[in-house]
């Protein structure tokens, strides 16, 4: 039973990390277009947007659980939902780091945006590898999962190239 609960929690966190990373990359692309020389603004957009998405997920999951259980959730149950969904916000932190470096003048905004996109892709690849390991997939399954994760992230990079050039 303990292993099943641990697996469920890992699955929920992985779900949030993948979703949060994709949201962060999408906002990064839009932010880079809107604020091409303002890394601090882009970082703020990425973090603020993932927080709003986190709140929306907490609200939606809370309502869904309330209906499914045919009663209002307790504060402890709502906190549990919020804790499980927090991975959405955590996922935005790694891509936001290069933007913060640029905001403090340590690297250029242009380089920070590309570094943030690369970081997001690396996170998506790592998430795919983690899933493949937990599911004990062979090399073909691992390649498929990592490829799908990277394709989602790469599509956002293609969007960035199309939108900003």
Structural domain total, the chain: 1
* Average pLDDT score over residue span 105-115: 95
55 has a pLDDT exceeding 90 = yes
User: For residue range 26-51, what is the model confidence (pLDDT) as tens digits?
Assistant: 899 888 888 889 999 999 999 999 99
Instruction: Domain of residue 130: give its range.
Output: 2-164
Q: Could you tell me the pTM of the whole model?
A: 0.83
Judge contact between 140 and 132, C-beta under 8 A: no
Looking at residue 131, its pLDDT comes to 86
Q: Count CA within 13 A, CB hemisphere, residue 36.
A: 6
pLDDT at 40: 94
Alpha-carbon torsion (18, 21, 91, 23), positive or negative:
negative
pLDDT at 4: 60
Per-residue model confidence (pLDDT) at position 96: 95
Residue 121 pLDDT greater than 80, yes or no: yes
pLDDT at 18 exceeding the cut of 80: yes
Q: CB within 8 A of 157, min separation 6: which ones?
A: 25, 29, 117, 121
Would the pLDDT of 148 be above 60? yes
């Amino acid at each position: 039973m303990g292993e099943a609960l641990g697996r469920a929690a890992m699955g929920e966190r992985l779900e949030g990390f993948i979703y949060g990373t994709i949201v962060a990359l999408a906002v990064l692309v839009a932010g880079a277009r809107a604020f091409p020389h303002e890394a601090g603004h882009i970082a703020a957009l990425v973090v603020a947007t993932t927080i709003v998405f986190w709140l929306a997920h907490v609200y939606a999951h809370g309502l869904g659980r309330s209906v499914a259980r045919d009663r209002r959730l307790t504060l402890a149950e709502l906190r549990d939902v919020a804790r499980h969904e927090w991975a959405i916000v955590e996922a935005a932190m790694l891509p936001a780091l290069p933007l913060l470096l640029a905001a403090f003048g340590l690297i250029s905004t242009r380089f920070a945006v590309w570094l943030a996109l690369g970081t997001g892709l690396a996170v998506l690849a790592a998430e795919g590898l983690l899933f493949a390991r937990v599911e004990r997939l062979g090399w073909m399954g691992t390649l498929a999962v990592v490829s799908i994760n990277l394709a989602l992230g790469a599509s956002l990079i293609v969007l960035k190239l199309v939108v900003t050039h």
